[in-house]
Structure 1
Amino acid sequence: MSEYRLPTAVRPRAYELTLWTDLENATFGGFVLIKLDVVEETSVVVLNCSSDLQVSKASIALGEGLSHTPVSVVDKGPERLTLGLPSGSLLSPQTKAELKVAFNAPLRGSMNGYYKSAWKHDGKTEYYALTQFQPTDARAAFPCFDEPALKARFTITMISRPGTVSLSNMPVASEGAYAASSSDGFLEVPAGEWKVTTFEETPLMSTYIVAFANGPFEFMEEKVQMPLSGRTIPLRVYATPDIIHQAGFCLSLSAKVLPLYEKLFRVEFPLPKLDTLAAHDFDMGAMENFGLITGRTRAFLADPKKNDIGSQKLIAKIQSHEISHMWFGNLVTMEWWDYLYLNEGFASLMGDVISIDKIFPDWDAEAAFLIRRTSDAMFVDGKRSSHPIEVPCPDVAFLNQIFDGLSYSKAAAVLRMLSNFVGEDKFLEGVSIYLKKHIYGNTVSGDLWAGISTAAGYDVGSMMSNWVKKIGYPVLTVTESANGITVQQNRFLDNGKPTPEENETIWTIPLAIRSVGDDGKARTDNGAVLSTREAVFEVDTGRPFKLNADAFGVYRVLYTPERLSKIAAEAAKPDSMFSLSDRMGLLYDVAALSNAGFLPVSSLLDMVYQWREEKSHMVWSTAWSNLARLGHVFWEYPAIIDGLRELIRTLFEPMITRLGFEFPEGEAVATIELRKIALAACLRGNVESVAQYLHGQFIAYMDTGDESVIPAEILRNVFTAAAKYGGRREFDALLGLVENGRTPAIKTGAIVGLGYTQDPALLDELFAYMVTKARDQDVASFCRGLQLNPAARRPLAKFCFENYAVFAERFGTNSTLKYFVEECFCRMTAQSDYDEIEAFFKDKDTSRYSMVLAQVLETIESYVVTIERSKDELTAWFVKWEQTQK
């Protein structure tokens, strides 16, 4: 038996779970009856069971008579419950058995397993309970076979206090007053008045997507007719009574997305309902439990009185992502966690691009994907400390680490590249083939490639193998000759050249060469593929051309300086042959290549300044994020920071002059987004008029107590300005919004904004608040705001060193610790920082965040090299540029 995997002697067929929840005393208990199929002869039954669960009784029924016989607990080791059969008894292959286990436990406060969440009702803190089982915490709520391939059917019965609402994966089958009945001592419900709710049986499903909740929930409902089945499916969003009115956008979005997916996947939605529960305390962003999506309030709720585009985009992406999982992950599930990306990469592609582009075409979803997914993934994957998309996960303790930007974002980017190469219609047809073939089953990578290969008529498996099994991605070096271009691939690293051993991978790369035809029109050769180290391609180099048309490819392209200059000049034209995504991709490539030493760092500044007449908010978002990243690298070099601020003011202040500060009703989304970017950049650039305006908005709030006076589009910038330019009054007001803000956007915006506090004494108060009062789910967000503030970066690192033990224990069972470590140190840039961090963690148990720590350290190494190589060059560039401005 593997140390981390269950033995294969028995398999679950069905569960009957009966559970009571006592919210007042924060406890729960009950029993589970598991119907087993016996595969191999055995005298013991081994299943998963957390150390939290107190097992009070267990029995097994053998053979046809199913007469229950007590069994003994042989071992209650870590995550295991081993039950021994009566002496001389054996379970024989091809027979059936029933296992019955009684248990009880406290409701956790850790945001995983079956846990409690706090909310305020009439000024009093009250609690409700919900589950978060992914990846391996169903075992913390009931003994079970907690592996994704061990699918079974579940019938769930919840015993709860009158006046509360119980939710689960399926609709309610019956509900009424609870009357104690004989259950052979397996059910011992505390005294008092109770009700009992039984839910319909689920289809076959994995334990990690089982879900239930109990509390004072209210709901909003909408019904939608499905295009394939013709069935009417009720959709509900649940929340506590104080915030349920903010669920309207999420509900309407769900009503658009669910039937869209049924149409795209050509497979009927398999359940009779779909609920969503917005929770005050939640570890991850959201969770795709079959039929009962759960997540943070920020993921699902928005102010119904304001056209908050930012909140709407966030909700749309998250909910579209989770709904896609109903098919891709729940209906068809990865065989083991090695293949997590099959769930998360696909859902990220559907949620970020394919669904959003069809529902909100004015949101520029394709271009936004470059910012949200491709660029972030490539930043991490350019490091030696990265990992393949398909990563072996033998150790359950390691699982939370792979819920990262590679399993989600790189996987999504690689799938998007494949979709573009074979065509989206063929890609989705292949997905449909895959789903239909493996419905209610478990799969590996090859199963998906087989489906898409069938639809596309192309061997997708051989193309995709190295993209998912190998670490990193390539940089393509383009040289020109009379015959065309020679393209050579090598692994890209942002911190030096790869060794021969690191450079063995040969990727199959769709080049998507955009060029000008004899008719003078732009054309794209989507059939050009590089599958060797180097190859020659016919291109008329006397005309404009560019590889990676529309930036679908997950690779960098290095041109000669002369060619890069020509491409940049062509891209700057109003009628350029290069698309919006082309321009964004060029900026990301130049920034990454210059950081890695392939180009001067000032190449990015040259390109951004050359494009100063650009109109697209997406290009400006890309430019701003890369300029900000440059500022994060050189934050301790005043001459460079001063020059960068002057450049930012030169680029962005005219936009504010042209656009103004206000957000008139009915304005185009693109204009709203451009103003938001310009205001954010000008705030960081210390533009006085912008700082005064934003700070003034917060003063107006403090004077009136009316949160609605702050424009929803710029909440975070207003809060940042309040913390940066204010004092005690603003600090206290922001903390008040953290605790009592009326919308999730206000609360999370205040958390991040507070990080810009400049007063050391107030920073110390904020650190103390994080230790004693901050919700667990918010600690990493507080750190995120602090690391954006140069004045707080070293105090934040010191805070982590001094309080690490507190947070390591506090986040002992969930995923928050890795984000805490990452956010505390990700902006450090000196060799001394590297040495101190490495020394501090040398004797710590880093098993739950070792990858993030390695990435943080390697990033610091990269920054040290970049600074040493480029500080003089950048200083000289700003001196020369400023002279041209006089």
Structure 2
Amino acid sequence: MFLLSPSLLNVSAKRFSVRTVACATLGFRPSSSPHDLRNISSIRTATMSTIASESPASKFRLPTNVKPTHYDLTIRTDLDKLTFDGTVTVSLDVKEETKTIVMNSSKLKLGQATAYTAVSQSDPSFSEPSFDEKEKRVSFSFPTAFPAGTQTKLTVGFAGELNSSMTGYYRSSFEEEGKTKYYSLTQFEATDARSAFPCWDEPALKATYTVTMVSKANTVNISNMPITSEKVFSLNDHPELKTLFVDLNEEWKVTKFETTPLMSSYLVAFANGPFEYLESSAKMPLSKRTIPLRIYATKDLIHQAQFALDVKAKVLPLYEKVFEVEYPLPKLDTLVANDFDAGAMENWGLITGRTSALLLDPKKADLAAKKRVVVVQSHEVAHMWFGNITTMEWWDYLYLNEGFATLMGEVIIEGAAFPEFKPNSEFITVHLNRALALDSKLSSHPIEVACPDAESIGQVYISYTFNEQADVYSQIFDGLSYSKAASVLRMLSAYVGEDKFLKGVSLYLKAHLYANSVTNDLWAGISKSTGADIINFMDNWVKKIGFPVVTVTETSEGIKVRQDRFLETGLAEGADNETIWNIPLSILTVDANGEPIVDKTAVLDAREKTFPLDTSKPYKLNAGTNGVYRVLYEDAHLSKIAAEVAKPASVFAVEDRMGLVNDVLALSKAALMKLSNALTLIDALRNEQEYLVWDGISANLSSLSATWWEDEYIRSLLDAFRISLFTPFVKKLGYEYPASENPDISQLRTRAIEQCLSAKDQSVIDELKDRFAQYMKNGDDSVIPADLQGAIYRAAVIYGGKDEFNAVKAIYDKAPTPTSRISAMIALCQTKDSALLDETYEIALKQARDQDVVYFLSGLASNDLTKRSVTRLFQDHYETLYKRFESTFMMRYLVETTYSGLSTQKDLDEMNAFFKDKDTSKYHMGLAQCLDSIRARIAYIKHSSSDVRHWLETWKESN
């Protein structure tokens, strides 16, 4: 899954007559009279009851008395009534003698279950469902026990509504000829397959699936596997379905799909609607097969899908080559959805994702949109191996899926397919710095989150957040499972060598094909390829919370290095500072000719160590910024580093310069160095030409501006400093984007203009306003380069009036691309007019798609005028928002977006008071991180205001 952000066994039991299955599905015994059969829509909901548990573990994990091996799933979709119904027959291996079968079910109406043993088809057993809503389970108790070692088939009918929750089997909408129309699709990760059909909804309980879809004849059906047959319904061809769905006629069609390989329930996918598609293919290097590729979307969007299809065709063969494991499915589709909670989802054979992650108009696409599509498609294709072929045994090990998909999809494979994007370098800003910022909070959690049962989940979150039980599934999909996990794996790859690392990964995959794995399985593969004890080396990196800061002190013989856990408020103490990490120091020095050399053998595996080094020459730890740690130098050496980075031919590579910028700002925030020293380093980089270094500087200066947002004097000085840094690039590069231009130059231009706009550079404001005025006058958007549309829209709204606001709103209403729509949403939130803000609030709460509400709150939280009023907006509509988003990731996003920019003790107190009596189990990790952020910002302002004011005043006087 990509966040916003961020896969053949023979069934031993025989098949049975569908007529008998249909009767059992409805809760009735077979009868010779067809009049006794009832429409599946009349399924009754059973009386609620509590399922008895045999052990503490069974409160959280399903009993192991039976194991599913195959599902026959038939599902009918009615897009007119916005409902679905169907039947599922599950082949079970009985592991222990039992009368009771427990499976997962949520939000479904279920019929009576029927069970047959392989040896006694003529004597079925029946059971009414008994629900446990809290645990999302249903149990069926039968009169006779099923003997251990036998095979049983369980058949259950189900029905549900196609709601707009963006989870389970849900509906999405689009406009056609002024009318709202619908289609349906699935989103099952982590635990929502159970809300589409009753199943064993745990990743380790892999089975094969045969899906049959019944739908209106004028719609398109897609699923994980290719279609084996598709016919308009007829009684001669489908007599069994007429028994199941009594109102079928020639308006319906029946689509049957091939049986899947062994796979986890959360990877099952199907969709129905008026889709169109583009197609291509990929020639695979190992199997020599040609894999057909398609991308589906509604008619109004399909013309923007070609680039995503091309990316998929380019990266799929690379994965097969690198992993030395064949892609096992006969096709790979992608479906673009108007309404989608996450960014995208790796359903095996049918990737799904939101429009902004998968679409772009090649004539109007900005570079950021292209990179986003590349990253998302590559990330999800990586999951076809990491997660789909080999799946984590339980959600403790989510990072085995997401960390690997992030590293492989967004660095290694992207680097091979699109080297011009410099993904390994960009990783430092996009993922490493993000991970370190999140992991420097007391409310952080380890990469590997232990949650074997309900009790353990409570213990995990007692330790790291609040004293209450969490909804672990949605909470662990965060920057630690993605960005920190990928960062740790990238560090290991750099330490052992990428070739050996990838060889170990291949060994790991081959050892667990169509199976499940835990952390040590991966380490075993890499240990075999390297001959090193990877388990011991990596254990604390994935199982312990936090990361170290390495303090460097020069001695007469070299350097003494010490490790402590780093917090955004300083060094951890006591019990919070017990972990000792194995830290690859990667010490960069220079040889006799002044050329850089790197010692990759140096490892800090104790609290303190001394390393011999000639400190009279330039040196730096964490060469290449591959390590997951910060480095704190003495002031004197930091001054030498600043002098070195200012040289045109510095020995410090672009990745080193990026890491230095991020380290000094983080260390100053933690009061481990003066902020003035960090600004001195940035000032020394004025002649820097690399976009990625300036991107890091931009992000850090924006963060400083947001921290001192209520101190007008410091803000004005910071603005002047930012303008002095970025205006030269604006003057040099201008506002036009030549088609053949290097991506770095394009991105540098965009970043420089955005920084000058944010810092209120009048010449930039005037240029952007003038371009939007030209657009308003003649409707010609050629004066608005795609890379600048966000900046131009914001300038128009901030410095314009109602006319400009309405013009941007018109773009939002009829946006030509997903990117322009998002830019318009954020821009609308920047107005300073109270009446227009009220209109924005109305759009955000009542008109915006569910997936888009977060953009509005983000925009409002970035507007100084509404930074606090947006919290009141959130609080006033809390109950409505909670009900609207409680089943999605979105509630966490909304909390984080709304509150994390606040900066006073009053903010902190009011926030604590508001959430004191709320059920925060769906988002309390995000809430805890917000509270930590506010505390850190309060401390930063307190200990650094005088220092930053003095440095900026001195700088201004000297310039």
- Which TM-score tier does this pair reach, normalised by the shorter chain? over 0.9
More displaced 10-residue stretch of structure 1: 361-370 or 172-181: 172-181
The residue aligned with 2:417 is: 359
* 1:473 has 2:547 as partner: yes
Aligned-partner Cα distance in 1 for 2:862–2:849? 20
Going from structure 1 to structure 2, the CA distance change for 1:756 and 1:268 (only over 3 Å counts) comes to same
Structure 1 segment 5-404 matched on structure 2, within 5 A: 5-50=61-106, 52-67=107-122, 69-78=124-133, 79-87=135-143, 89-180=144-235, 181-183=238-240, 187-188=244-245, 190-192=247-249, 193-306=251-364, 308-393=366-451, 394-395=453-454, 397-404=471-478
Question: What letter matches 1:46 in structure 2?
Answer: V
Cα displacement (A) at 1:765: 1.5
| 1:864 match: secondary structure | helix
Aligned-partner Cα distance in 2 for 1:150–1:704? 60
Aligned-partner Cα distance in 2 for 1:610–1:309? 29
| 2:449 match: secondary structure | coil
Contact 2:111 2:129 survives alignment (8 Å): no
Cα displacement (A) at 1:183: 4.3
TM-score (norm 2): 0.91
Question: What letter matches 2:823 in structure 1?
Answer: G
Contact 1:475 1:558 survives alignment (8 Å): yes
Cα displacement (A) at 1:187: 2.2
Contact 1:332 1:439 survives alignment (8 Å): yes
Q: Deviations over 1:845-883 (max 9, x none)?
A: 000111110010011011111111111111111211111
Contact 2:83 2:160 survives alignment (8 Å): yes
Contact 2:112 2:128 survives alignment (8 Å): no
Going from structure 1 to structure 2, the CA distance change for 1:188 and 1:83 (only over 3 Å counts) comes to farther
Aligned-partner Cα distance in 2 for 1:39–1:707? 66
Contact 2:772 2:793 survives alignment (8 Å): yes
Match of 1:532 among 595, 606, 623: 606
* 1:410 has 2:467 as partner: no
Cα displacement (A) at 1:569: 1.1
The residue aligned with 1:701 is: 775
| 1:90 match: secondary structure | strand
Question: What letter matches 1:274 in structure 2?
Answer: L
Q: Deviations over 1:260-311 (max 9, x none)?
A: 0000000000111000001000000000000000000111111122353111
Cα displacement (A) at 1:527: 0.8
Aligned-partner Cα distance in 2 for 1:667–1:26? 49
Cα displacement (A) at 1:709: 4.1
Aligned-partner Cα distance in 1 for 2:142–2:194? 25
Question: Gaps spanning 5+ residues in structure 2: where?
Answer: 1-52, 455-469
* 1:860 has 2:934 as partner: yes
Aligned-partner Cα distance in 2 for 1:410–1:739? 38
Cα displacement (A) at 1:653: 0.9
Aligned-partner Cα distance in 2 for 1:837–1:190? 54
Cα displacement (A) at 1:706: 4.3
Contact 2:493 2:501 survives alignment (8 Å): yes
Question: What letter matches 2:147 in structure 1?
Answer: S
Cα displacement (A) at 1:481: 1.0
Going from structure 1 to structure 2, the CA distance change for 1:204 and 1:183 (only over 3 Å counts) comes to same
| 2:926 match: secondary structure | helix
Going from structure 1 to structure 2, the CA distance change for 1:651 and 1:188 (only over 3 Å counts) comes to same
**Please, what is the CA RMSD of the aligned residues?**
1.4
Going from structure 1 to structure 2, the CA distance change for 1:440 and 1:612 (only over 3 Å counts) comes to same
Contact 1:580 1:619 survives alignment (8 Å): yes
Cα displacement (A) at 1:227: 0.3
The residue aligned with 2:672 is: 598
| 1:66 match: secondary structure | strand
More displaced 10-residue stretch of structure 1: 170-179 or 729-738: 729-738
Q: Deviations over 1:447-503 (max 9, x none)?
A: 000001111111111111100000000000101112111110000011233121000
More displaced 10-residue stretch of structure 1: 496-505 or 147-156: 496-505
Match of 1:662 among 720, 736, 745: 736
Cα displacement (A) at 1:737: 2.2
Going from structure 1 to structure 2, the CA distance change for 1:757 and 1:525 (only over 3 Å counts) comes to same
Match of 2:649 among 575, 600, 606: 575
Q: Deviations over 1:504-523 (max 9, x none)?
A: 00000000000012343210
* 1:834 has 2:908 as partner: yes
Structure 1 segment 463-862 matched on structure 2, within 5 A: 463-862=537-936
Cα displacement (A) at 1:145: 0.2
Aligned-partner Cα distance in 2 for 1:741–1:233? 34
Contact 1:71 1:83 survives alignment (8 Å): no
Question: What letter matches 1:227 in structure 2?
Answer: P
Aligned-partner Cα distance in 1 for 2:748–2:136? 54
| 1:492 match: secondary structure | strand
Question: Gaps spanning 5+ residues in structure 1: where?
Answer: none
Going from structure 1 to structure 2, the CA distance change for 1:307 and 1:297 (only over 3 Å counts) comes to closer
Question: What letter matches 2:189 in structure 1?
Answer: Q
Going from structure 1 to structure 2, the CA distance change for 1:60 and 1:705 (only over 3 Å counts) comes to farther
Contact 1:723 1:754 survives alignment (8 Å): yes
Question: What letter matches 1:324 in structure 2?
Answer: A
Identity of aligned residues (%): 49
Q: Deviations over 1:38-97 (max 9, x none)?
A: 0111101100000x211123211123233462522251121544443442x111111000
Q: Deviations over 1:117-160 (max 9, x none)?
A: 01011111100000000000000000000000000000000001
Q: Deviations over 1:500-550 (max 9, x none)?
A: 100000000000000012343210001111111111111111111000001
Question: What letter matches 2:79 in structure 1?
Answer: L
Aligned-partner Cα distance in 2 for 1:346–1:402? 15
More displaced 10-residue stretch of structure 1: 506-515 or 101-110: 101-110
The residue aligned with 2:37 is: none
The residue aligned with 1:458 is: 532
Q: Deviations over 1:190-232 (max 9, x none)?
A: 4551000000000000000100000011111111110000000
* 1:428 has 2:502 as partner: yes
Aligned-partner Cα distance in 1 for 2:90–2:342? 29
Aligned-partner Cα distance in 2 for 1:111–1:809? 13
More displaced 10-residue stretch of structure 1: 132-141 or 488-497: 488-497
* Number of aligned residue pairs: 883
More displaced 10-residue stretch of structure 1: 636-645 or 693-702: 693-702
TM-score (norm 1): 0.98
Going from structure 1 to structure 2, the CA distance change for 1:731 and 1:66 (only over 3 Å counts) comes to farther
Cα displacement (A) at 1:828: 0.2
